[in-house]
Structure 1
């Protein structure tokens, strides 16, 4: 008996194998029941032809994953999550919006200079990416240089407003071949992985087209959309007003001109601070404690120190680097971590600002605040901070002042009760009612809104005028060692209404949060604030707690503040300037 081996068609076997790998048995049976033999053969053939392509896609994906891991594990890089996507981020010790934006601008302009690419820096939008312009005729060279840069320093690229893709992959750049604007984003974070700065702090490269001796912008610009093609570039020695820090940039003359909304006057910051655990200060307070008219006025929680000042100064250095000088007003107390030798910081004793030494010592914040305009060297325009007020994201001077010098204030939806001060009123309401009485007497209007707990934008000349205009009431406030029924709240409220009615202040809005540590949901609100980072200003207050609550509140607050503001400020010993 002769056995005949069946003839095997390798090509047909490969098709069948690919078909079986691609479709489960249940699907194959359904196709067999429904379609003819010839139709099934066509389906099998198409699947077989697609199989190698899918295999190559898998191979490419595996290669990309290996490359991605190689880039991510290099020194100075970590993996972060942004918008639900993993991103390679660069660790930056002095992380801030200005430093991140500056780093991107320096990286782009440096490789352009090295490659001989002609460019100029464009003045972009406030709080937006830096912007560099090149001519359309240099496109191929520019793309090649940026491709190498994005690979050497892993960056993500996109057309503004479109999804970003890894700039360290060649396929990404092929999709951007004709883009008129390319945005490069370097994700940046700290050693602690928080915060993460991304797209708004990158660098846009614009391709300007030349026609009849003029260069035309590819999109609407803030200053001008056309410049002379042959005009000589100029060096702007200080681009800090552009959100890039004190950086010399190569630009065009048109972009160096001051704009109407530019703030060119100096703005200082003033803090009041007390160390409520200082034994010497506690002994002084004990000698006068019986004079407090309301329990809240002498509540130990008012003087508890959770190290807020350290982190408020960090917020200032990170999100308001445009502040000229910082003045810390204290009762001859200095935090041990403070660098008192820093050239832009000065500690001011109460003895320097109270003209009558018999009014000291004082434990009344209203009294201390009444004397702030006596600080020697203080600028006309300044921000007043309590140490429990923090900047939560990047700010500009224009958030607090108009360029013509008018100050902004931020009314709260909370109302001041109508009527005269009474025994049931807490000190803050008493002072607000006293303020209102003066405004009614002077201007015939009745203020009813409280102010938000924000940095207060103040004018020194207005405070001086208030001291002259309401001399008796002002002197009485200054003389009260603890909060009193006759107090005025001058920088936090009276200044704003008085300046408004004399044409030197206007109401405004700010993204803001107020948290009370004594509230049961304080922990969850802190977690949400840290995760979202969507408030320009926030205040963390503690007025109702008892002395025994201090340790628990510190344990709650300190990790939050360290996570939100991990970068030491230049005002700390050992901090970077």
Structure 2
């Protein structure tokens, strides 16, 4: 049943105010013109009342100074977006959360966070009886800081292109049990767009007095419980407990939830995860690969604790070493000795040149809560079965391999490297993927280490979207543009930027241009993190 304080048509109000017997008599005795005039007058009264309440809510929002961005712009689909320097998916999530919660506080509407089943989005709960006040303050907020609203339950997304300040954007609000408020945000280059897969969902909880203790009942299942005591105390909770994609050790303020909801998620990772990046090519395009890897971690994996750069060549001067970034010079072949890195965490991601993250990821995407790694399965063929790493894996474990491993960021454990070193298999020769004439098969180190870990119960291979491309691929611009438009691939591996063929055909230049557009936001690991190479040609250079 529609909420009495929410926006409804004159017909709904007419039915609530006039009893059914009176309506029946009026329908048979009053002329049609009189009935139409009464309903029209009632509709005008409601519109005036709604306009007055909207102006009041808008004044409150403006006095609170909610919203704000560098400027507004038009998204590729024609909707309104907001420009923010230094934008990341995690910061956009925090912007959205703070906007909605501050607006609810301004309207003096109680709320609490709920651990939703889909942890890409932050979910808030409010009392069903406050539904009308919620709509008014959110509509005022969306007028001040243009955004969009849709009904999630029941699902009605035909208003997703209508600004939330318009009345027709709220046409499904009366029956909605859950709504989603979304803002589109972009960086100053307008290459990175965030918000479509995020937003804030608001659930309308109802009061239940069937038992001795009054309870609040949620409109849909969540990660913990659907019914809570209405007098449950509120507690602070970090956004990382509500969303696995958030920064674990961030300095941002926590949010508020009820005591019963502050429990670990089933897939929550409570151990630190580092990242190890290899620096092997002291060339302009090599620097762009390293810069892109750092930016992908900054943009899509804010939960990474410390980044270790293992430099087999003179490291770039723009690296900003500090608490979160260490640089260690090493000889070629140091990949087999990563467990000896000073202060490296037991669990870490290994990114070789050309490996980047393509979308937001969680620690659970690469590790299980009990510490197992989750490497990505790759193709298996005759060439893989006769590869040196397959023979070495069988010699080290006595078990044959059954699949390869995909390229891209690799989850590893330091203990496995140490055990392999003790087992004594001779280190395999490691190819340089940036000089390979074509996309190679499973990397020998990954194949041996992951197989050894799986046999000993330290790895659980999984499958996620991965893409490997060679810079000399004819027409490489098409798959790169597809990756740029979709942005749904979890991990990407780029090969062959140092080959003569890639330089001759312009593939190296195309890849560098792609990286500039895919990762336009500088990371905290760059010394001069306010600038980007001026032209693509400057970044390509020669081998």
| TM-score in terms of structure 1 length | 0.71
Question: 1:444 — aligned with what?
Answer: 398
For residue 462 of structure 1, what is the aligned residue in structure 2? 416
- How far is 1:522 from its partner? 1.4
Distance 1:399 1:406 in 2: 11
Separation in 2, partners of 1:548, 1:129 = 41
Residues 1:306 and 1:380: Cα distance change in structure 2 (over 3 Å): closer
Return 88-97 or 171-180, whichever deviates more.
171-180
1:527 equivalenced with 2:481 (yes/no): yes
Count of aligned residue pairs for this structure pair? 439
Q: How does 1:48-127 map to 2 (within 5 A)?
A: 76-82=71-77, 86-127=78-119
8 Å Cα contact 1:369-1:490 kept in structure 2: no
| Residue 162 (1) aligns with residue 162 (2) | no
1:214 alignment counterpart: 215
The equivalent residue for 1:343 is 323
Distance 1:240 1:74, change over 3 A: closer
After TM superposition, the runs of 4+ consecutive aligned structure 1 residues lying more than 6 A away are none
Q: Deviations over 1:422-475 (max 9, x none)?
A: xxxxxxxxxx42x3223323443322533211211101111100000125x14x
Aligned counterpart in structure 2 of residue 409 of structure 1, from 375, 379, 390: 375
Counterpart in 2 of 1:268? 274
1: CA distance, partners of 2:408 / 2:104: 43
Q: 1:550 to 1:177 in 2, by over 3 A?
A: same
Distance 1:454 1:153 in 2: 38
Please tell me whether the aligned partners of residues 127 and 394 of structure 1 are also in contact (alpha carbons under 8 angstroms).
no
Larger Rg: 1
**1:105-254 to 2 correspondence within 5 Å?**
105-160=97-152, 161-163=155-157, 164=160, 165-212=162-209, 213-237=214-238, 239=240, 242=243, 243-245=245-247, 246=250, 247-254=253-260
Structure 1 residue 415, shift from structure 2 partner:
2.7
Q: Contact 2:502 / 2:508 at 8 angstroms: preserved in 1? A: no
1:299 aligned partner? none
SS in 2 for 1:113: helix
Distance 1:127 1:369, change over 3 A: same
Q: Which runs of 5+ in 1 are unaligned?
A: 1-72, 279-303, 351-360, 421-431
Give the SS at the match of 2:344. Answer: coil
Q: How big is each residue's C-alpha offset from its partner over 1:218-247, in whole Å with a ceiling of 9 and x where there is no partner?
A: 112122111110111111256366245444
Change (3 A) 1:469 1:109: same
Distance 1:502 1:173, change over 3 A: same
The corresponding residue for 2:53 is none
Is 2:112–2:126's contact at 8 Å kept on the other side of the alignment? yes
| Residue aligning to 1:286 | none
Q: Using a 3 Å threshold, how does the CA distance of structure 1 residues 276 and 575 change in structure 2: closer, same or farther?
A: closer
